[in-house]
Amino acid sequence: MAVSVLEKWKSSAPQFQSLLRIVAAFLFLMAGTIILFAWPMGMPPDNSTASITTQTGFGGLLEFVGGALLLLGLFTRPVAFVLAGEMAVAYFQFHQPSGTWPAQNGGVPAVLFCFVFLYLSAAGPGPWSLDALRQRK
């Protein structure tokens, strides 16, 4: 019996889970490099960096280290849970006071990252990860 296109598509869900993790981690990691290293650009408005001793610098450190760990799929569940919390704090502390709705207050990325990371903390990294490789041994 031939496998339907829908069945093939559904069976690729674990690989798409890994792909979601990899793309989200890469974008998040880049947010950390902007804050810590001014790469590929610095923080607006003056292309600066933030000191690690500031709240912004600590957030950048979480984004850089956490993004790198998620990119590799290493310690995915606890790292994703911590980063979901970071994004919830970022939203309510920095975005929500500027307006009610995420589209209004610039908080769409924070909300989206929060829920992607919350999903990954529950679902795990997918098959293309160091976590999956460690479990096979």
* Mean pLDDT value across residues 33-54: 97
**Residue 97 gets which letter from DSSP?**
G
Question: Can you give the residue ranges of every domain in the chain?
Answer: 52-137
* pLDDT mean across residues, the chain: 96
Q: Report the pLDDT value the prediction gives residue 73, as an integer from 0 to 100.
A: 98
Q: Residue 115 and residue 79: Cα distance in Å, rounded?
A: 13
For 52, residues 6+ apart whose C-beta sits below 8 A from its C-beta are 36, 58, 60, 61
8 A C-beta contact, residue 98 and residue 105: yes
137 has pLDDT over 90: no
**pLDDT tens digits for 66-123?**
999 999 999 999 999 999 999 999 999 999 999 999 999 999 999 999 999 999 999 9
Split at pLDDT 50, 70, 90, the class of 12 is very high
Q: Is-above-0.85 flag for pTM?
A: yes
| Confidence (pLDDT) at 1 | 57
